[in-house]
Amino acid sequence: MILAIETSCDDTCAAVLDGDDLRASIVSSQIEFHARYGGVVPEVASRHHLELINPVIAEALSEAGACLDDISRVAVTTQPGLIGALLVGVATAKAIAYGIGAEMIGVSHLEGHIAANYLPPEPVEPPFVCLIASGGHTSIVKVLSKSGFQVLGQTMDDAAGEALDKGARLLGLGYPGGAELDELSADGDPSYAAFPVGLDKPGNLDFSFSGVKTSLYYHLRKMARPELAAHRADIAAAYQSAVVSALVKKTIAAAVAAGVAQVCLSGGVSANSALRRRLADECDARGFRFRIPPPELCTDNAAMIASAARFREPVPFPEYLSLGARAAGGFPV
């Protein structure tokens, strides 16, 4: 039985996984605390993790009908993320593992997003190509086995979720911006304007979203207020379409090049309606099997960390006491 902890950003998460049986997955969101600032404040996130981590773990164990003595392994997110937030989770995991004599496993947050695809109700078997798109990360990965994968492309600057959130802020929308932008775009015409996305060259599977934000900024500067008010939905739709087009185009190109029959989508941006629809349509047209984990397994959660931990070697005591956290980085070597 694995107890997993995830504190890479602003959600305090704990889960209990017993084989393939996800017995509990608890997520305590901090959105209301960060909404007033228009984004996540690292120091605020860390302080709330300190307050919430023990109650969240206790709730996960209670829901699972388990106690700490039932746990044989403790898994925790070690990278990437907000360093202060990560350290809260890592320190807590070490203390629990030491106290109950359990082994410990450090997991990459990005590896967790891949492993979310291995959980019920529709577990996926490799090989497949996975697009991981979230507020902090954007990568395309060829998954060879449950313990092995190859990074085919990744963002060179901003993540797709960050680009959507900042585009929403430029348009004067609320927080979280990506969801607000998606809702507004439903009433807009995506052909109203053309926003360029970087690295748009055949064979290049990397992403660059910093330029599209700049393009939107200068586009809005040229508009008079009445014109902007009349076409805000059209601009939102065109901007979102540019970001989504880059994600879909490169994911399909990666799947074709990799010669796989399955495409998976993970990460918080998977909630975007345009991305889900367009990637599903392209996969259907190409004959690819398309899968997305349930919404609660796409956003930050500890169940995906527990899932990934099943396929990594545990670290015994006292070696795990030297386990650290890294704000940068992504996939384990």
Inside any domain, residue 239: yes
Looking at the domain assignment, is residue 192 inside a domain? yes
Do 182 and 48 have their domain in common? no
Domain range for 10 = 2-114+297-322
pLDDT (mean) for 231-241: 98
100 and 35 within one domain: yes
Residues 132 and 215 in one domain: yes
In a domain, 75, yes or no: yes
What are the C-alpha distances in Å from 77 to residues 182, 194, 273, 329?
29, 39, 28, 12
| Parallel, antiparallel or unpaired: strands 138-145 and 148-154 | antiparallel
Decide if 121 is inside a domain: no
Do 93 and 76 meet the contact criterion of CB atoms below 8 Å apart?
A: yes
Residue 333 falls inside a structural domain? no
Between helix 273-286 and helix 225-258 the angle, nearest 10°, is: 40
Structure tokens at 23: 């017995």
Question: Does residue 73 register a pLDDT over 60?
Answer: yes
133 and 44 in a common domain: no
Please state, in angstroms and rounded to a whole number, the distance separating the CA atoms of residues 269 and 296: 12
Task: Evaluate whether residue 327 is within a structural domain.
Answer: no
Q: 314 and 173 share a domain?
A: no
3-state secondary structure 178-197: HHHHHHHHCCCCCCCCCCCC
Kindly state whether residues 187 and 61 are assigned to the same domain: no
Please indicate, yes or no, whether residues 193 and 279 belong to a single structural domain of this protein.
yes
pLDDT at residue 333 in the model: 40
pLDDT at 87 over 60: yes
| CATH number for the domain harbouring residue 182 | 3.30.420.40
Closest CA to 332 of 309, 298, 316: 309
13 pLDDT band, cuts 50/70/90, is: very high
Which pLDDT belongs to residue 332?
56
Residues 42, 171 share a domain? no
Per the model's pLDDT, the better-predicted residue between 239 and 333 turns out to be 239
The verdict on 281 and 302 lying in the same domain is: no
Give residue-wise pLDDT tens across range 295-332: 999 999 999 999 999 999 999 999 999 999 999 866 65
One domain, residues 181 and 46 = no
> Is the domain of 151 the same as that of 281?
yes
**Structural contact between residues 78 and 326, judged by C-beta atoms closer than 8 angstroms:** yes
Is 119 a member of any domain?
no
139 and 101 within one domain: no
Amino acid 285: pLDDT: 97
Q: Is the pLDDT of residue 156 over 80?
A: yes
- Assess if residue 328 is contained within a domain: no
Report the number of distinct structural domains present in the chain.
2
Q: Which residues contact 31 (CB under 8 A, 6 or more apart)?
A: 10, 175, 176
